[in-house]
Structure 1
């Protein structure tokens, strides 16, 4: 048997048909090219998502000799739009990083809701003010409605940033949205329906295939890493950095920096998303050969400069500072030294995220995996392990679509737990061990960055003190 995972990304759609033991029987992808960016604006045409899903699924299933026993869909976290009662889009989709609803977010925080400026709830209010009445939908809801031929509930993972209370499993009372605007919600892994005849004709997915409620792309990548047992963590480094772990209880954070997704079995997936990441490399070095610069960067450990390489203004994790900007302390002596400073800066941020999680009482000492595009760089992977001072595992295949295939297998009853399903599908890959002498080299520049972030008023003093104290334990 095989299961189909569909990933609605920022730049394209990916589909994978995967067996229970992780063999990929078919894959397909299609680009998303009609999005609009500018300043704090980032929106996409929801109609293009369906066109890309059709193409990606047909490619994944075209040469495969097996039919999917179920499917699940993941998408970007915090992307929201309006639909009519039939589930048809009536507005553009405001993407996960669209920042036009900052004023609405401020009003919601004043009312006692812990939301960030780019979360889905303030953006839903912004859309309703401009496009009139409608039903709030998340990115995968548009696709699951097309697949089943009718509107279906959203999943609690995508609803989290619309302020859904995953502990009480209900919407809060103070959303400021009209009655009936919010969708029904189910846990990930819940069966939503079956692929209808019209969707089967469009996608090549057999009619009657079960459709299972999915999770956000960050959670999907975590499933694909196999990091689902208590104490395990997955660090996803792509354009930006996301850390997600597994815990028996939610991790409480009064600052609202760390949030908790709920796993299908009722356990918890705490984590946070930073605005640092590999995106800064393409901004600073648009025509660079990354492998060549990696090789040259090895001569600068540590770099002559210390960086906090924000991809865009504002930071969300390991501290909330809406007005934070990228910083560079010192003057790099060459492009290779600047490249090294940026790589190291991301690794320092990753370390600070784990220090913050430790301060909050999160279980952080279990296995750590690296996924995302940056994990393809052997040099950067080793550098990150050195800075963190702990071994890391890089699974063989870590695409969010694989995580959705594992969730579909669990949701259709093929595995007793989601962890069992994921561990059966995930190919373990390689383990990278830190080099203690290199770890020691990075203690001083890490402490220097912590001091600078504190001096600028971005990093709370208690977080900084805990990070400094932890230096002695690494």
Structure 2
């Protein structure tokens, strides 16, 4: 097999995925290796960075066994990773403690304190969430002062892998925007915000754009994996920005809805458009001079999985039970706040609920209510993005939940936007990372590389049910303030 190859490495919470593509972006092979999360106390979530290295070694070892000739032709590597994690290193690049992950909530008090300082929202354009990196460092200073004193560098998870791959302390804009220290509009570290957490720019990695070179693969690793010399490591991206590169959501106005365990409404912008009051994330994109907004709901397919467990029926069967045609709204309303909610409420304590249940309520009506509740939560996200100046004319559906045509019809009608369904194939974060590796190694135009996939179908809003669904959405909107004080 001839020709240049490019490798994407995606460091997730539950595993590492590596994906090999050719110069024409054909997927050649992929491999995965699992990771565990340590939870020593309630609200804690940690991983040993050595396990990330082990997982990458295992996955690339599998690729080498399956595709040694293709792996030998790798010219560029892109990195994607779980965001917000605090990886603390001493002056000798030794890890001082396990990485505190994005879903660790121990620093909720510290996050509230930083968020009460108006400089953080003004400079970062975001609420300081407990998951962000900055409050984690305040927690470490208070509870592990000897670790804080020894900290010479703070790296995000994928950037620790970069250090291992290249020997360089480098990060990029999309991932760094989720730390709470980046001036997101100016795309640079904020000395003011770092000082507010008793850190300096010297504690941070240098910054590049996600499409730019950010180190070269160490000779030792290239020889071990059977790869030639001069392999460029791209800046890469945080996981959602990498997924956007994989899905071609890189031009202003393009957007995707991700129906995974949680839900994401991701929109690309050519301007900095913050709206922290609605808990919208405003981050740098992986491409230069590009930003993105992201609304996040914490339970999307999680709601269907919960109902599946309660009813003893698979999510696919529950969806099929509704048929193909969009029904009039369910008389039952579901608030999908099983784990709290991010956008627009920023409420970790709120919990989900059904209202309108009566003796004759059927399983199908509960399924419909769950799907509609998630669709309405996405509508909340869309309204939050609109308040910040983002206008969308369509969205692409990705994630496991997008296999339900009924659910997509409910979402299209609730949003009053067409929903495009792409053709099959792996278009996730590892694919986006590989694309970034290709761009960094070749200097190719990012827009010519990060193109959207072919569209298999488009789900249009159901104009017959749109009025009734709008009325149901307005009922949904009234329920959150009504139950907020009694559901925690």
TM over 0.5, shorter chain: yes
Matched, 1:177 2:187: no
Matched, 1:138 2:161: no
User: 3-state SS of the aligned residue for 1:174?
Assistant: helix
**1:261-276 alignment, distance < 5 Å:** 261-263=283-285, 264-276=287-299
Q: What is the deviation of 1:213?
A: 0.9
Structure 1 84/346 Cα, relative in aligned 2: closer, same or farther at 3 Å? same
Matched, 1:119 2:132: yes
Match of 2:473 among 440, 446, 449: 446
Matched, 1:4 2:30: no
**1:174-323 alignment, distance < 5 Å:** 174-175=193-194, 176-179=197-200, 180-200=202-222, 203=225, 205-255=227-277, 257-263=279-285, 264-286=287-309, 288-298=313-323, 301-313=328-340, 315-323=341-349
2:401 corresponds in structure 1 to 374
Q: What is the deviation of 1:256?
A: 6.2
* C-alpha distance in structure 2 between counterparts of 1:435 and 1:265, whole Å: 38
Confirm or deny: 8 A CA contact 1:191 1:213 kept in the other structure. Answer: yes
1:406 corresponds in structure 2 to 435
| Deviations 1:32-77, CA, capped at 9 Å, x for gaps | 1344376422222222111111122233354334322211111112
Matched, 1:85 2:91: yes
2:124 corresponds in structure 1 to none
* C-alpha distance in structure 1 between counterparts of 2:370 and 2:237, whole Å: 31
Q: What is the deviation of 1:320?
A: 2.3
| Deviations 1:328-360, CA, capped at 9 Å, x for gaps | 222272433322222211111111211221122
| Deviations 1:78-99, CA, capped at 9 Å, x for gaps | 2222122343322112221211
Which deviates more from structure 2 when the two are superposed, residues 119-128 or residues 434-443? 434-443
Structure 1 90/156 Cα, relative in aligned 2: closer, same or farther at 3 Å? same
1:341 corresponds in structure 2 to 369
| Deviations 1:437-467, CA, capped at 9 Å, x for gaps | 2333422221101122244569xxxxxxxxx
Q: What is the deviation of 1:190?
A: 2.1
Root-mean-square deviation (Å): 2.4
* C-alpha distance in structure 2 between counterparts of 1:58 and 1:245, whole Å: 36
| Deviations 1:379-427, CA, capped at 9 Å, x for gaps | 32333223323222222332111111111222223521x2221117x44
Confirm or deny: 8 A CA contact 2:46 2:104 kept in the other structure. Answer: yes
Matched, 1:51 2:54: yes
Which deviates more from structure 2 when the two are superposed, residues 288-297 or residues 79-88? 79-88
Q: What is the TM-score normalised by the length of structure 1?
A: 0.88
* C-alpha distance in structure 2 between counterparts of 1:381 and 1:177, whole Å: 47
Is there any run of 5+ residues in structure 2 with no aligned partner, and where? 122-127
Confirm or deny: 8 A CA contact 1:195 1:205 kept in the other structure. Answer: no
Q: What is the deviation of 1:121?
A: 0.9
Q: What is the deviation of 1:217?
A: 0.7
* C-alpha distance in structure 2 between counterparts of 1:127 and 1:203, whole Å: 37
Confirm or deny: 8 A CA contact 1:230 1:246 kept in the other structure. Answer: yes
* C-alpha distance in structure 2 between counterparts of 1:63 and 1:402, whole Å: 19
User: 3-state SS of the aligned residue for 1:436?
Assistant: coil
Confirm or deny: 8 A CA contact 1:301 1:340 kept in the other structure. Answer: no
Is there any run of 5+ residues in structure 1 with no aligned partner, and where? 459-474
User: 3-state SS of the aligned residue for 1:412?
Assistant: helix
* C-alpha distance in structure 1 between counterparts of 2:272 and 2:263, whole Å: 21
2:382 corresponds in structure 1 to 354
Q: What is the deviation of 1:8?
A: 1.1
Which deviates more from structure 2 when the two are superposed, residues 319-328 or residues 200-209? 200-209
* C-alpha distance in structure 2 between counterparts of 1:12 and 1:279, whole Å: 19
Structure 1 239/86 Cα, relative in aligned 2: closer, same or farther at 3 Å? farther
2:125 corresponds in structure 1 to none
Confirm or deny: 8 A CA contact 2:296 2:381 kept in the other structure. Answer: no
Structure 1 127/283 Cα, relative in aligned 2: closer, same or farther at 3 Å? farther
2:18 corresponds in structure 1 to 15
Q: What is the deviation of 1:13?
A: 1.1
Structure 1 95/406 Cα, relative in aligned 2: closer, same or farther at 3 Å? same
Q: What is the deviation of 1:317?
A: 0.8
Confirm or deny: 8 A CA contact 1:306 1:328 kept in the other structure. Answer: yes
Confirm or deny: 8 A CA contact 1:141 1:154 kept in the other structure. Answer: yes
Question: How many residues get paired?
Answer: 453
Structure 1 265/90 Cα, relative in aligned 2: closer, same or farther at 3 Å? same
